[in-house]
Amino acid sequence: MFAYGPVPSRRLGRSIGVSPIPAKTCTYSCVYCQLGRTDHLLVKRCSFFPKEDILADLSNVVAQSEADYITFVGDGEPTLNQDLDWLIRKTKELWKVPVAVITNGSLLFLKEVRSALNAADVVLPTLDAGTEEIFKLINRPHPQIKFAEMIDGLINFRQQYAGHLWLEIMLVKGLNDHSEALRNIRQAVDLIRPDGVYVSIPIRPPAEKWVEPPEPEKVLAAQQILGKVEYIIEKETGDFGISEFKDAHEAILETAYRHPLREVQALTIEKRFQQAGTLQNMIAAQEVFKYDYRNDIYILPRKLLRGIVKSH
């Protein structure tokens, strides 16, 4: 399954997600990643799957759902798929739904990647650091990706891109929440000149258990330094699109793998299928596990839980 949702997005409303890459395949292994550590740290772009299969699966989801965006996001870094250009253009030809791409921005120094994203309506790259040192600490990039090259890619893309460019910054306690780090990020933002900036804090179980949100006073300081930005620090609300799933079991398992669910969200899915006891049975069978992160209970599939706790 390549397409799923819609899922509630704090930036994009109801978003149909499309994952064109194998699970946990990325150019980064960010300390805060909700999918755990990266299994396949890559920079080489590939055709991982037949592009026609991805489009056909997306067609099935679109036919059953209404959404504000179709979002290429992946269970890692979507620009690693060298068919992304074709997929975006075909999507826009077939459906009158805006297309977004959520990317870490690491490969925008490549001309073909910038060209691929030109057709998207919205591109949301990551910018968590303003220096090479913090870049390595928080994003843990592939050794071939250098900070200066990544920044140049974002600047060059901004200069040629006619759509909306929204930068995303994740603040992590003790890494990039101090004044110097924030000033360096602000300098990079000013060079890139995005249309908007979203600042988030970790709210879902991260790859590394020590990862925590900044203290409230640090968030307030960030507001002063980063200037006009939008803060996304609340948990998302809204229903998940589950019409493509045959039962509550499949809906909970597939949704939780790509978008870790709070227990209350999983129970809501169970209720919508009128299949009470599904979640309890899945926990008893050890298909999913409860995971306590900052006083909230999340439901994590076994394979995702391994990726999150194996280094703890």
Exposure string for 225-249, b = 16+ CB within 10 A, e = fewer: ebeebebbeeeeeeebbbebbeebb
Q: In CATH, which superfamily holds the domain spanning 3-244?
A: Aldolase class I (3.20.20.70)
Q: How much is the mean pLDDT over the chain?
A: 89
**CATH number belonging to the domain at 246-312, selected among 1.10.10.10, 3.40.50.980, 3.40.366.10, 1.10.3720.10:** 1.10.10.10
Does the pLDDT at position 154 exceed 60?
A: yes
Give yes or no for a contact between 108 and 156, defined as CB atoms under 8 angstroms apart: yes
Classify burial at 299, counting beta carbons within 10 Å of its beta carbon; exposed 0-12, middle 13-18, buried 19 or more.
buried
| 192-246 pLDDT tens trace | 999 999 998 988 889 898 999 999 889 888 888 998 888 776 666 566 666 668 8
Q: In what order do the strands lie in the sheet with 261-262?
A: 261-262, 296-301, 288-293
- Alpha-carbon gap, residue 147 to 130, rounded angstroms: 8
The domain locations on the chain are 3-244, 246-312
Give the pLDDT confidence score for residue 311 in this predicted structure: 41
| 110-137 pLDDT tens trace | 999 999 999 999 999 999 999 999 999 9
**pLDDT grade for 306, boundaries at 50, 70 and 90:** low
Question: Of 38-47, 112-121, 198-207, 252-261, which range is least confident?
Answer: 252-261
Helix (H) or strand (E) segment spanning residue 253: helix 248-258
- Alpha-carbon gap, residue 220 to 176, rounded angstroms: 14
Give yes or no for a contact between 127 and 96, defined as CB atoms under 8 angstroms apart: no
User: What are the distances in angstroms from CA 33 to CA 62, 185, 224, 245?
Assistant: 27, 20, 26, 26
Give the pLDDT confidence score for residue 254 in this predicted structure: 80
Structure pTM?
A: 0.82
Give yes or no for a contact between 206 and 34, defined as CB atoms under 8 angstroms apart: yes
Classify burial at 280, counting beta carbons within 10 Å of its beta carbon; exposed 0-12, middle 13-18, buried 19 or more.
exposed
